[in-house]
Structure 1
């Protein structure tokens, strides 16, 4: 069943936001590389890959439904500087923005009676809960270690052990 024009446009906007998320994570990785935290930078690059995967899921849904998604204009991310807390706070704020957008898309699909979109959107709601929880945990640990060099390097090593989008 083809998406109606309102939903097709909303899905295209979500696809654009997912691609922006990928770019934002690259910018955050650059900041962490500049702060000499290669493990955290690697973690951010993997997040960037995951966001492109999310965009691809949305694209597949739209095209499978007989529509053609349109990627909109991308906004350039802000450079958070090299303060590690600011970098992860920026990541959390961005994920919260994505969560709000997905919830709005879910509500729109419900309002339009598009039950075919709800399973995909439910998966994304769960995914966003996980994304925000992970970033909140990292921020909590960063606050706990404060400016403790060995603690920061240990967390950098731990985050750098991530090998793929989980």
Structure 2
């Protein structure tokens, strides 16, 4: 594995861990405004993001490299509304997609076929991640300020396993 690919994958481990940290912060926001279903959805998402970080972590070790964990910045802690929080989540997922695509382009340039193959799972996963958050954003926009609609969506999101 080239030094460039190695460095990019190490940075991606940090981005995935930060994603978990951000979603956990969003969960605390939702808990604080009495939306436990939204909070549960974000807690499940945080665990999933840690799983993504560990996939890359394990891949680096399988390739004979050592993981170097970067420092994490403090995530935002409050949002004006559930819609604003989910819009932020959607934008963050688009950022992660761009990051994965950049590493994939780098792996291709470096003729690193193993990393290219490994990243194919993440490419597919990011399509799902963006779609999930976008659907919730669209639902929240349709609800506008409906307390009943928000309650129903909270129940729906709380059923995520």
- TM-score in terms of structure 1 length: 0.94
Structure-2 residue corresponding to 1:37: 35
Structure-2 residue corresponding to 1:110: 108
Structure-2 residue corresponding to 1:93: 91
The counterpart of 2:131, out of the listed 130, 133, 137, is: 133
What secondary structure, in the 3-state scheme, does the structure 1 residue paired with 2:111 have? Answer: coil
Structure-2 residue corresponding to 1:67: 65
Count of equivalent residues: 161
Distance (whole Å) between structure 1 residues aligned to residue 86 and residue 79 of structure 2 = 11
Q: Report the alpha carbon displacement of residue 23 of structure 1 after superposing the two structures with TM.
A: 0.1
Structure-2 residue corresponding to 1:4: 2
Distance (whole Å) between structure 1 residues aligned to residue 73 and residue 125 of structure 2 = 23
Distance (whole Å) between structure 2 residues aligned to residue 76 and residue 95 of structure 1 = 18
Distance (whole Å) between structure 2 residues aligned to residue 98 and residue 75 of structure 1 = 16
Distance (whole Å) between structure 2 residues aligned to residue 56 and residue 9 of structure 1 = 16
Q: Report the alpha carbon displacement of residue 93 of structure 1 after superposing the two structures with TM.
A: 1.1
Root mean square deviation of aligned Cα: 0.9
Contact 1:35 1:82 in 2 (8 A): no
Shift of the 52–15 alpha-carbon distance from structure 1 to 2, 3 Å rule, reads same
Distance (whole Å) between structure 2 residues aligned to residue 155 and residue 35 of structure 1 = 14
- TM-score in terms of structure 2 length: 0.97
CA deviations 1:31-80 (Å, max 9, x no partner) are 11111100010000000000000000001110000000111111111123
**80-89 vs 65-74, which deviates more?**
80-89
Structure-2 residue corresponding to 1:16: 14
Task: Specify every segment of 5 or more residues in structure 1 that has no aligned partner in the other structure, as ranges.
Answer: none
Distance (whole Å) between structure 2 residues aligned to residue 44 and residue 82 of structure 1 = 17
What secondary structure, in the 3-state scheme, does the structure 2 residue paired with 1:117 have? Answer: helix
